[in-house]
A = this chain, B = another copy of it.
Amino acid sequence: MLVLINGVFGVRMREVAGRLGAAVDALEFTWGTPVVVDDVAKKLREKTYRIVAVVHAETSTGVRNPVAEIGALLKGTDTIYLVDTVTSLGGIEVRMDDWGIDALYSGTQKCLSCPPGLAPLSFSEKAMAKLGARRTKVPNWYLDISLIANYWGQNRVYHHTAPVNMTYALYQALLLILEEGPEKVFKRHLDNHLLLVKGLEEMGLKMVVEKPWRLPMLNTAYCPEGLDELAARRCLRSEYKIEIGGGLGPLAGKIWRIGLMGHTARKENVERFLDALRKVIS
């Protein structure tokens, strides 16, 4: 398989696949920049892959990867297109069928604003056919879709005890998004992202990611020169009850990661944060 990497969660995908015995090639891109579609196209001309995998919203850097464009390269091939939508689902558009995604997984605790503990996932017909044609057993009994499909189907064959309460929580979380309207939810994320960026730039901070690739729900900015970034985050937390993230990997100590996910993506939160940060860095 080919894993496209430009942050922590791409690295993790490679690690997970490698542990399961997959032969993994990787294309790596500078953290803070998106996957370059032309480089992927070139790689795909050199070699055919059973799976191509990418993270939609790189939570470690704030980059939105060109998922639709990569999907277009795979159209009509036998390759399974695997996309991590943990941070994107519920905050920006995710078009599984239109973008040719075959296997997609997410989390409940980001833009769905549901408690953590579930990983919603979806498979295309193509992926289900591939899973159904396996000649070896999945190493992980708990995640064997061929067994779980017997429960999903007409037979309702017991597989494992479902996390019922979490399922109700997810149902409610999705209902809240449908009631507000997904388009409005996406616009709310975008509007508050733009408000945040404007405020950060007015304070003299520089955004890490180029404009077209910025994630509204995960905003990264370089810390001002000479400032103790850890002390600033600690002060935000202790004095203002606001927690933001530090940089990871090559960006550790250099950037801040500011989440605006689901219910937290609101004007009053952005304004409260900007006020607090202004005081902390002044």
Q: Does A16 contact B (CB under 8 A)?
A: yes
A98 to B17, CA, bound (A): 39
Q: Does A115 contact B (CB under 8 A)?
A: yes
Q: Which residues of B contact A109 (CB under 8 A)?
A: 161
Q: Which residues of B contact A138 (CB under 8 A)?
A: 19
Q: Does A249 contact B (CB under 8 A)?
A: no
* SS class, residues of chain A in contact with chain B: loop
Q: Is the CB of B19 within 8 A of A165?
A: no
Give the residues from 151 to 196 in chain A that come closer than 8 angstroms, CB to CB, to chain B. 161-166, 169
Q: Which of B19, B141, B163, B164 contacts A141 (CB 8 A)?
A: B19
Q: Which residues of B contact A162 (CB under 8 A)?
A: 116
Q: Which residues of B contact A165 (CB under 8 A)?
A: 115-117, 166, 169
Q: Which residues of B contact A12 (CB under 8 A)?
A: 141
Q: Which residues of B contact A139 (CB under 8 A)?
A: 19-21, 139-140
Q: Is the CB of B164 within 8 A of A115?
A: yes
The interface bits of chain A over 87-124 (1 if a CB of B lies within 8 angstroms of the residue's CB, else 0) are: 00000000000000000000101000001110000000
Q: Does A137 contact B (CB under 8 A)?
A: yes
A249 to B120, CA, bound (A): 32
Known contacts A139-B139, A141-B16, A115 near B163 by CB under 8 Å: yes
Q: Which residues of B contact A166 (CB under 8 A)?
A: 115, 117, 163, 165-166
Q: Is the CB of B115 within 8 A of A19?
A: no
Q: Whole-angstrom distance from the CB of A128 to the nearest CB of chain B?
A: 20
Q: Which of B115, B140, B141, B164 contacts A116 (CB 8 A)?
A: B164
Q: Whole-angstrom distance from the CB of A42 to the nearest CB of chain B?
A: 30
Q: Does A38 contact B (CB under 8 A)?
A: no
Give the residues from 126 to 140 in chain A that come closer than 8 angstroms, CB to CB, to chain B. 137-140
Q: Does A15 contact B (CB under 8 A)?
A: yes
Chain A interfacial positions (CB closer than 8 Å to B): 12, 15-16, 18-21, 107, 109, 115-117, 137-141, 144, 161-166, 169
Chosen A-B contacts, 27 in total, with CB atoms closer than 8 Å, are A12-B141, A15-B141, A18-B137, A19-B137, A19-B138, A19-B141, A19-B144, A20-B139, A107-B161, A109-B161, A115-B163, A115-B164, A115-B165, A115-B166, A116-B161, A116-B163, A116-B164, A117-B163, A117-B164, A117-B165, A117-B166, A139-B139, A139-B140, A140-B140, A165-B166, A165-B169, A166-B166
User: Other CB < 8 Å A-B pairs besides A115-B163, A139-B139, 8 of them?
Assistant: A16-B141, A18-B137, A19-B139, A109-B161, A115-B164, A115-B166, A116-B164, A140-B140
